[in-house]
Structure 1
Amino acid sequence: MRLTLFHRSLIALGLILLLAPLAIVGAGRSMEAMYNSPVMWIPPESEERRQFFQFVNDFRTHDVILVSWQGCTVDDPRLDRFAAALSRADGGHADVHSEALFQRVLSGRSSLAALQTPPLELSRRQAIERLRGSLIGPSDMSCAMAVLTADGAVRRDASIARIRSVLQIDLELSADEYHIGGTPVIGKAIDDASVDSMLWLSLPSTAVIVLLCCLFLRSWRMILLVLGVGFFGEQLAISLVHFTGHTMNAVFVVMSPLIFVLSASTGIHLCNYYRDEVDARGVAGAAERMLTIGWKPCLLSATTTAAGLLSLLVSDISAVRQFALISAGCVLLTTLLMLLTLPGVLQRWPQTRRDRSGWMGTSLAALASVVVRRRSLIAVAGLSIMALTALGLARLRTTVEVFDLLTADHPVIQDHRWLESEVVPLIPVETVVRFDAASPMTLFDRLRLIREIHVSAANQPPARGATSALTFLPSLPTSNTLRASMRRSVISKRFHQDRVRLAELGYLHETPDAQLWRVTTRVPAFEQVDASAYLSDLVAAHQAVLDRGVVDRQDVAVTVTGVMPVIESAQQMLLKDLIGSFFTAMLVIGAVILVALGSLRLGLVAMIPNVFPICVLFGLMGWLDQSLDIGVMMTASVALGIAVDDTVHFLMYCRRETAGGTAPTDAVAKTIQHCGSAITQTTIVCGLGLLVFALSDFEPTRRFAWMMFLLLTAALVADLMLLPALLCSRRGKT
């Protein structure tokens, strides 16, 4: 027996109710596992990531947390109290038990004391200068540096909580008096901002969408179905992050509201098709006619949106690829569910006619008249604006700096600004010098080379000093006198006595195959630093040291690594991904439209209003020298996919009119009046529903929300003005 529309809707609703608890539980587990680390976004096979993790494994140097407070000078005894209290709270650190969160704690005070005691016996001034830029600031302000174990880096929330507890209980400092910073602190703040965006802003976003749907749909059955399917879709999308074995991160934050508003958009279009049929031919059979007319444009729209999302698969960033797959699948699924549920419910409980008079109907009629009369002017103006702004695309630049992921007034950013201005720069850049085990170089040849590398790194702007094993060893003699020979003997003895301690400090690593030395420089995070130029200059400076002929370069290798090179690699990937995904989306979506419409000319005309928002908004960003982050990067392909939805509905309605013998200009005018309502409603619902997330403290979510709102608004103008103007011309006739 053939199933009726109502029976199909019951089956679909039953499936939703069956899977909903599983989706909600999975979404909750995804949120609990939130973890952000841009280092993990780039491909595992990338050279920058491989070198970074090789460095971490060799020197047992995981993340570091910097701690300081008002009045924390190098002579502050509270630095010693903090180190001792943290050691007690941690059970003695990693050298006592394997579950410790901290490897060790360094401070400017303890390091200064070590440099002033035998055998170095440096003067206070000499010792301070050695530590300047690493543990001591320009005004002798200092800090403690808690080095995390591998377990402490993974359990960064517990590590940060333990440090705060020691500061507040043992040192009796209030939260306003101390400052903590470092990659783990930023990562936790990003996690919290991401979760807050989804938990606290999803409710207002949903409320906005509910109010708008009530205003536009005015039927509680329509509203419940549209919002119910949307809610199920967003929960399913987030739960799939957990069920597919991935970790929730910043990229997935925008996925939930995106799926919700796309589902609502499909529902609004279907409801408008239904009401058009009720107005035109009555209630009887309206649900069946709605499905007959609406299934093709809705599925085609979902396909083009999914194609826009899947174009992100060209990205080298794994989190973006996962976002693309899950989002595309959920868009297609929610569209199918909407097509299965809404017609059956409307068949069982038909809706009455609606009055088409009102401000929107009057406005659309006036707009149609203006567009038809001024079509040439509108077409030329639109294409000119698109061409001029598109010139700015060549000026686009990207950023994935972790400090750009939070708003400037966020407390964590304020803490980091204080630490950098009062104590030390925040971004470590690591240079690793590797000597082969078979190298004939003597200890002093190696130390001289390390000294030159140390000096070249420290003097490379904008670095402020450097730290290496030489910081904790006597100064190297520069002459060949008897006294210098005796001093070399002392240094040699000192080195062999301290090599274990140097390894524990993380500045020396020895294996049967090689000896590795580490030189650390720190670069400001809040100054305009051209990371690419700085890294290139640093590598060139190190290469110049090797080229001076002091060593056999086959026995020595110098590598620059750390978070900065990894982030720079991610930025290059981001720009490449933006270009690659956008053009892939254009090709795929263009091909789908060409096949669906069966006309090359019409397909090319249809792509113009969809490229218009991207060219205008991203071109203006280029002209205004605004950087693209990972949230903004994804809007290009996503917005292209969404914008095509309304274009498809517009074109297919217009084709039905012209197929019935209506003149092109009259067909365009009627299409504006009939489709303009649904297009405007979906733009308002999607745009304002997403704009709520502009209140987030998490910058990618905030920028994604603003860009999507502006892109959808520009797409509305293009679909209701530029596209009709082009279709009215002879070349764009349908």
Structure 2
Amino acid sequence: MKKWLSTSFWILISRFLLRNRLLVIVMIAAFTVFMGMQWKYIRFTQTEANLLPDDHKDNIAYTNFLKKFGEEANLIVFAVKSDEVFKPENFKAWSEMMQNIQQNKKEVDFVISFKELKQLVKNDSTQAFELKPFIDENKLTEVNYLQDKRKELIHNLPFYESLLFNKKSGVVRSVIYLNKNIVNTKIRKDFVLEKLIPEINKFKEKTKVDIRVSGMPYIRTLNATAIISEIGLFIGATLLVTSLIFYFFFRSFRTTLMAIFVVIIGVMWSFGLLGLLRYEITVLTALVPSLIVIIGIPNCIFLTNKYHQEARAHGNRAKALQRVLTKVGTATFITNVTTAVGFATFIITNNQLLSEFGVVTSLNIMALFVLSLFVIPIFFSFLPIPKDKHLEHLERSYLVGFRDWIINQVKYHNVRVYAVALTLLIAGIIGVYKMKISGSVLEDMPKNQPFFEDIRFFEKEFKGVLPVEIMIDTKRKKGVMKMSTLKKIDELQREIEEIPQLSKPVSIVNLVKYAKQAYYNGNPEYYDLPNSQEQAFILPYLKNSAKDGKENPLKSYVDKTGQYARISTFMKEVGTDEMEEVEKKLNEKIKELFPEDRYTVAITGKALLFQKGTSYLLDNLIESLIFAVALTAGLIFFLFRSVKMIFVALIPNLLPLLCTAGLMGYLEIPIKPSTILVFGIAFGLSVDDTIRFLAQYRQELKINNWKIKKSIFKTLEEEGPSMFYTSIVLLCGFFVFTLSDFGGTVALGGLVSITLLFGMLTNLILLPSLVLSLNRTLANQQEMKEPTLDIVVSDDEIEEEIEQKNKQD
């Protein structure tokens, strides 16, 4: 590695670039065209994020459930609270809307609505139950007919309670059962956006009746649409903000356009890589193009700043360009590697969503490094040497003032620096103990969108839209229909009804109760399980009844063999602690009712799976962060061959992470998938400044005859501006994500920005203070071992190497 990143290597690279400028430009253009051709393979994900690995026990339980009963989140629900919908003209419009929706046979299995409602009645001649229309269409024009039937539904048909109406508030709703095979496909998205929503809008315009719509297929579609719409917003906003900052620093349109060109090409490559790897765009990979802009601009700043410093030193353009690559090529490579490592650690989380994000981001960062290294020197080679006005940024009053303040803190106020650091450490530790974990599917959805308001409506009226499933294996065929099993299921359902976070459950028990009511001519007082005498003549009616799935949606609550039963309920948006308490109550009741030797019972569903995934992800991301810290420590030791330097490098970068974690605790920002990412990303970016500072510091020691103080302050003068510029760009770039409608993206952007601000200050103040304190015993060169790599190279070393190269040539 030393050979490939040696001074002579960078001299060869610089010569190749400057002598073959047109060839390099053609190569970049050709590669960009190739990556552009991969865009046709880009697809947006149609499935929800599964945070658990395939072999996790909860994932296996959910997979088994899907094999028996299919996709559980296939309901779209409409609801109205107004009596206006039961006026004949409005009811006609409602019925037409539901009829038009039901005509989409490819996407819709069946619809349960007020007009299409079926009532279970017995037929003594066939000794079976039949489904008869609840509404007599010939009476629709009669005065108060619809209102009377609405009252009859609410008071006489308890089977439909919670499914079609709220008995307390009188809210009535319709349920659309989508084809389970299209729920996780593009067909679902097209149906919702192109067929369902136009019908809803048509109804609203015709009747002026407020209609609420929800259900996981509907929520997922609109949520995904919002994510896609933000991709362009973030790319544009990050490009605008970082470009304006770049121009503010350098005051040069041409240089700013060069930086914009570099990051736009990088963005094109990032989309191309997604297509090339056949990765779908998810809530995380959607952020990659914007991250490329944010990370790419600091590369441009660092290289441009070094070029201007060299140009000011001797005024020779060719010499300045060559020295930029030769002096800081290795440092730039190492800092990009550490940034890429920060993202690459997500690959080891054993989670597809994060692994793909880690792969794409880390590869793009290294590709962007190569692009910056090639384009920036070639760009400046076509321009004249920078004029004095272009170099004024090196000595601007605000920059000089900030630099002097930093030097003053390091030089005269070490005790104050350590006291503040210790205070932040203690405050951060206290804050960490206040942190909470959130595992809600709805946590990060855009709360200002109309569809999220509808979610809250259904939470209030029907206790949520997040499906929770309980699958019961009786371990024998037709075991579900045994009265002993039905009574156990009924008792478990009564327990569920007592849990305030869960809605009224539905299972085969509801159908059996309804059958008894129908047997007694629809008397609601008989809505209950049949006793031992009644079951002898009621159950045969059920067995003889029609089994047409289009007529009987509850057929899906018992599998074909009769061995497996399903209890379905819905849950409000709750935190992880509440969810665990709900699961605990259910498991206690299940253990009491269903002996393990006779039954196997599993609690599953998307809501529970996401909560479990969050806890699993937290453990894995902590491991990946530890892995990133360990890798960085190993890299520091490899570069500087000093254990002391490991502690010096890590402390200023771990303290900001602890401060941010503490801040999350104080502000009650929960740990969730989006906020967990903050720490790995921020660490990978922040440690760049540490490596640049230490590399320059070591070089200054050699130049200044191992005088520690002089070397530290010279390093701050040399590297301080670049560290300040790049940190400002990074934190402002990430702050753009707070424009998002998604809580997770807002939290990610805001927290990374705060962490990078802490990181900039600790690297500019705490880091040199630590170096100064820990190296007071350094008396001679022998105590500072020769580094594995010459990260920063002096002018004398470059001249010596060039002279040797010229002799060889």
Residue in structure 2 matched with residue 707 of structure 1 by the alignment? 751
Say if 2:238 is the partner of 1:208: no
What letter corresponds to residue 530 of structure 1 in structure 2? E
Deviation for aligned residue 1:462: 2.5
Residues 158-183 of structure 1: per-residue CA shift (max 9 Å, x gap):
23232223333357557882221111
Residue in structure 1 matched with residue 25 of structure 2 by the alignment? 13
Deviation for aligned residue 1:236: 1.5
SS in 1 for 2:569: strand
What letter corresponds to residue 459 of structure 1 in structure 2? E
Whether the 8 Å CA contact 1:80–1:109 is kept in 2: the answer is no
Aligned pairs (5 A) from 1:282-431 = 282-284=315-317, 285-349=319-383, 350-353=385-388, 354-355=391-392, 356-359=394-397, 360-431=399-470
Q: Of 496, 505, 521, which aligns to 1:466?
A: 505
Residues 27-54 of structure 1: per-residue CA shift (max 9 Å, x gap):
5753xx2236444343233333333343
Aligned pairs (5 A) from 1:76-91 = 82=94, 85-91=97-103
Residue in structure 1 matched with residue 609 of structure 2 by the alignment? 566
Residues 498-518 of structure 1: per-residue CA shift (max 9 Å, x gap):
472576434433345x52222
What letter corresponds to residue 265 of structure 2 in structure 1? F
Residue in structure 2 matched with residue 497 of structure 1 by the alignment? 544
Q: Distance in 2 between matches of 1:505 and 1:320?
A: 37
Say if 2:77 is the partner of 1:66: yes
Deviates more, 1:57-66 or 1:636-645: 57-66
Aligned pair in 2 of structure 1 residues 202, 614: CA closer, same or farther (>3 Å)? Answer: same
SS in 2 for 1:626: coil
Aligned pair in 2 of structure 1 residues 603, 468: CA closer, same or farther (>3 Å)? Answer: same
Say if 2:696 is the partner of 1:653: yes
Q: Distance in 1 between matches of 2:229 and 2:209?
A: 22
Aligned pair in 2 of structure 1 residues 692, 231: CA closer, same or farther (>3 Å)? Answer: same
SS in 1 for 2:247: helix
Deviation for aligned residue 1:242: 2.2
Deviation for aligned residue 1:708: 1.8
Deviation for aligned residue 1:67: 1.0
Say if 2:587 is the partner of 1:539: yes
**Identity, % of aligned positions:** 18
Deviation for aligned residue 1:496: 0.5
What letter corresponds to residue 667 of structure 1 in structure 2? S
Whether the 8 Å CA contact 1:204–1:692 is kept in 2: the answer is yes
What's the TM-score once normalised by structure 2's chain length?
0.82
Say if 2:152 is the partner of 1:141: no
Q: Distance in 1 between matches of 2:84 and 2:584?
A: 35
Residue in structure 1 matched with residue 192 of structure 2 by the alignment? 160
Deviation for aligned residue 1:115: 5.3
Give ranges in structure 2 of 5+ residues lacking alignment. 1-10, 124-128, 135-151, 518-525, 779-783, 785-809
Q: Distance in 1 between matches of 2:343 and 2:208?
A: 43
Say if 2:291 is the partner of 1:258: yes
Deviates more, 1:76-85 or 1:715-724: 76-85
Whether the 8 Å CA contact 1:64–1:147 is kept in 2: the answer is yes
What's the TM-score once normalised by structure 1's chain length?
0.89
Q: Distance in 2 between matches of 1:76 and 1:507?
A: 34
Q: Distance in 1 between matches of 2:488 and 2:369?
A: 65
Deviation for aligned residue 1:683: 1.4
Aligned pair in 2 of structure 1 residues 320, 388: CA closer, same or farther (>3 Å)? Answer: same
Q: Distance in 2 between matches of 1:347 and 1:117?
A: 90
Deviation for aligned residue 1:296: 1.3
Q: Distance in 2 between matches of 1:312 and 1:484?
A: 57
Deviation for aligned residue 1:729: 1.0
What letter corresponds to residue 165 of structure 2 in structure 1? I
Residue in structure 2 matched with residue 619 of structure 1 by the alignment? 662
Deviation for aligned residue 1:570: 1.2
Q: Distance in 2 between matches of 1:212 and 1:194?
A: 27
Residue in structure 1 matched with residue 800 of structure 2 by the alignment? none
SS in 1 for 2:44: coil
Residue in structure 2 matched with residue 639 of structure 1 by the alignment? 682
Q: Distance in 2 between matches of 1:261 and 1:20?
A: 20
Whether the 8 Å CA contact 1:107–1:142 is kept in 2: the answer is no
Q: Distance in 1 between matches of 2:208 and 2:752?
A: 37
Aligned pairs (5 A) from 1:7-46 = 7-24=19-36, 26-27=38-39, 30=42, 33-35=43-45, 37-46=47-56
Q: Distance in 2 between matches of 1:175 and 1:274?
A: 65
Deviation for aligned residue 1:724: 1.4
SS in 2 for 1:103: strand
Q: Distance in 1 between matches of 2:340 and 2:656?
A: 19
Q: Of 594, 598, 602, which aligns to 2:637?
A: 594
Say if 2:696 is the partner of 1:690: no
Deviates more, 1:205-214 or 1:157-166: 157-166
Residue in structure 2 matched with residue 521 of structure 1 by the alignment? 569
Residues 581-620 of structure 1: per-residue CA shift (max 9 Å, x gap):
2111100111112211222101220111111211100122
Deviation for aligned residue 1:579: 0.9
Q: Distance in 1 between matches of 2:532 and 2:716?
A: 92
What letter corresponds to residue 540 of structure 1 in structure 2? E
SS in 2 for 1:114: strand
What number of residue pairs does the alignment pair up?
A: 716
Residues 643-676 of structure 1: per-residue CA shift (max 9 Å, x gap):
0111111111111111122522222222222211
Residues 300-353 of structure 1: per-residue CA shift (max 9 Å, x gap):
101111111111122232111111111111111211222223233334433235
SS in 1 for 2:472: strand
Whether the 8 Å CA contact 2:480–2:558 is kept in 1: the answer is no
Q: Distance in 2 between matches of 1:343 and 1:160?
A: 51
Say if 2:496 is the partner of 1:457: yes
Whether the 8 Å CA contact 2:480–2:565 is kept in 1: the answer is no
Residues 226-271 of structure 1: per-residue CA shift (max 9 Å, x gap):
3222222222223322221221110112211212221211121111
Deviation for aligned residue 1:715: 0.9
Whether the 8 Å CA contact 1:102–1:152 is kept in 2: the answer is no
SS in 2 for 1:560: strand
What letter corresponds to residue 508 of structure 1 in structure 2? Y
Q: Distance in 2 between matches of 1:624 and 1:262?
A: 28
Aligned pair in 2 of structure 1 residues 22, 150: CA closer, same or farther (>3 Å)? Answer: farther
- The structure with the largest alpha-carbon Rg is 2
Give ranges in structure 1 of 5+ residues lacking alignment. 94-99, 548-552
Residue in structure 1 matched with residue 558 of structure 2 by the alignment? 509
Whether the 8 Å CA contact 1:458–1:521 is kept in 2: the answer is no
Say if 2:507 is the partner of 1:446: no
Aligned pair in 2 of structure 1 residues 14, 442: CA closer, same or farther (>3 Å)? Answer: closer
Deviation for aligned residue 1:566: 0.9
Whether the 8 Å CA contact 1:38–1:567 is kept in 2: the answer is no
Q: Of 100, 103, 115, which aligns to 2:109?
A: 103
Aligned pair in 2 of structure 1 residues 117, 136: CA closer, same or farther (>3 Å)? Answer: farther
Aligned pair in 2 of structure 1 residues 685, 497: CA closer, same or farther (>3 Å)? Answer: same
What letter corresponds to residue 557 of structure 2 in structure 1? L
